[in-house]
Amino acid sequence: MDQNKKEKIAVLIPVFNECESIGKVLDAIPRELTDQIIVVDNGSSDGSREVAEKHGATVIEESVRGYGAACLRGIAYLEAAGAPDILVFLDGDYSDDPNDMHALISKLYAGFDFVLGSRILGIETYAAELSPHSITGNKLAAFFLKWLFDGNYTDLGPFRAIRFKKLLELEMKDKNFGWTIEMQIKAVRKNLQIAEIPVHYRNRYAGVSKVTGTFSGSIKAFFKITILIVLFFFNIKR
């Protein structure tokens, strides 16, 4: 990474009842890369906010429940507080390895606008852990993205980095877990320079995933994401 090209980098972490893992996530973030770490508390009742503050994050609240709603709240906060050049999205369950930020940011410095951390590629490269039903669901979603939008993705992983100005141009709207697929579709439609890199991935440190923690949850998520893909394809959802 060319340190002469250092830009203002912020990390955004939506959190809902992640008190056992958020401290580990924050401690593992490469501080030499980051200028701001924003945790958006999405209605936690387990003390996640206090843990995040103790570990050095700026914590803001979003009362409307949903992953996308938390992300939108964080983006609005950053716009008002002084927009970064680059924004990294990271989950608070400690399933991703924050050190992979080095590789994500390097790709942006190399000229890309949007870099997705692929857990599917990480399985081959780093022996990343991902349940069989999650692998199948992500591969099927990637197939539809290629078929309908010519998007060369392998995964819908939440660990991603994007140039902040390009993110604003996407005019993100989804307030739930359709956020990730919306960003990937709109990035293709806006002709962003897109890259994927393999990332490390492990079973979440504690608790149960809100989407992929069970087989039934994964199936429901897949069908809902498929519906979103169809809606975007026919421009019913924009």
What distances in angstroms separate CA 232 from CA 60, 114, 118, 141, 149, one per listed residue? 30, 20, 22, 13, 10
- Domain with 203, as residue range(s), is 7-233
Report pTM.
0.91
DSSP for 195-223?
A: EEEE--B---SSS--SSSSSHHHHHHHHH
Residue type at position 154: T
* Residue 230, both tokens: 């169809």
Structural domains in the chain (count): 1
Q: Is residue 238 part of a domain?
A: no
Q: Which residues of 116-130 are buried (b: 16+ CB within 10 A; e: fewer)?
A: bbbbbbbbeebebeb
Phi, psi of 222 (to 5 degrees): -60, -45
Instruction: Return the pLDDT at 234.
Output: 82
Shortest CA distance to 115 belongs to which of 87, 140, 73, 91?
A: 87
Residue 214 is predicted with a pLDDT of 53
- Which CATH number characterizes residue 99's domain? 3.90.550.10
Look at residue 2 and tell me if it is in a domain: no
What was the pLDDT predicted at 119? 96
Low-confidence ranges of the chain (pLDDT < 50): 3-4, 205, 213
Q: Is residue 197 part of a domain?
A: yes
Q: For residue 205, what pLDDT is reported?
A: 47
* N-terminal to C-terminal alpha carbon distance within the chain: 36
Those residues whose C-beta lies under 8 Å from the C-beta of residue 81, and which sit 6 or more positions away, are 36
Tell me the helix, strand and coil percentages in the chain, rounded to 5.
45, 15, 40
- Would residue 1 count as lying in a domain? no
Q: CA-based angle 120:28:75, to the nearest 5? A: 75
What is the C-alpha to C-alpha distance for residues 104 and 133, in angstroms, rounded to an integer?
A: 26
Q: Look at residue 77 and tell me if it is in a domain.
A: yes
Q: Which residues pair with 10 in a beta bridge?
A: 36, 87
